[in-house]
Chains A and B, each alone.
Chain A
Amino acid sequence: GESVGLHLPTLSVQEGDNSIINCAYSNSASDYFIWYKQESGKGPQFIIDIRSNMDKRQGQRVTVLLNKTVKHLSLQIAATQPGDSAVYFCAEKWRGSQGNLIFGKGTKLSVKP
């Protein structure tokens, strides 16, 4: 994927608002997608996943939407909290691969109190 170096896309939201983080994935043959949250100084933390035969999946305060037609994935966070501030990565697994995840550009989410 394209390297963005230090210039991550950023999203700034007010505490309590809903957040939508978008991701364009690369391979139409991908069959599995995951969203990870990475806080400063920590490793990526699993949030939610979705298989390619689904369009939507909900978790606690999070929803992932998959649009295979335009190869687009989104993560919706309801009632965003300061603890949600982090960099969010989408990742895809290519069908037939050995399970390796291909990570997209991250998006930095900042929550204003």
Chain B
Amino acid sequence: EAGVAQSPRYKIIEKRQSVAFWCNPISGHATLYWYQQILGQGPKLLIQFQNNGVVDDSQLPKDRFSAERLKGVDSTLKIQPAKLEDSAVYLCASSLAPGHAGNTIYFGEGSWLTVV
């Protein structure tokens, strides 16, 4: 079974530029998550989708970050304009349903962003 696919794997941009990350979840997974992981820390949720609807975006910096999952399958996370503190790994994850017991959350390999 194919896992969570993410691209690009690595991106270097200058501050104030924009960047977009793409994610394709595991087939059939209704719930999709974007997490931000700063070096040396655990992942932190940015946004959670259930099908094509937003369930939780309370920790998404909406002045610069946006995300969409228009058809309820793949998703795009955009940062515009980027700041130095956005340097992190952006992890996409998916699960069959909201992550309670029996519905494991599976992570992709991440998209590594460096803002210079």
Contacts of A49 in B (CB 8 A): 101, 104
- A99, B98: Cα distance in complex, Å: 5
The secondary-structure label for the interface of chain A is: loop
User: Assuming the A-B contacts A51-B101, A99-B48, are A4 and B55 also in contact, with contact meaning beta carbons closer than 8 angstroms in the complex?
Assistant: no
User: Is residue B25 contacting chain A, with contact meaning CB distance below 8 A?
Assistant: no
User: Is residue A1 contacting chain B, with contact meaning CB distance below 8 A?
Assistant: yes
- A6, B91: Cα distance in complex, Å: 19
Q: Which of B50, B56, B97, B101 has the most CB of A within 10 A?
A: B101
> How many of chain A's residues have a CB under 8 angstroms from any CB in B?
30
The secondary-structure label for the interface of chain B is: loop
Further pairs besides A43-B93, A46-B105, A93-B100: 6, Cβ < 8 Å: A5-B41, A7-B40, A32-B99, A98-B98, A99-B31, A99-B48
- A70, B68: Cα distance in complex, Å: 40
A4's nearest neighbour on chain B, judged by CB, is: B40
Contacts of B48 in A (CB 8 A): 98-100
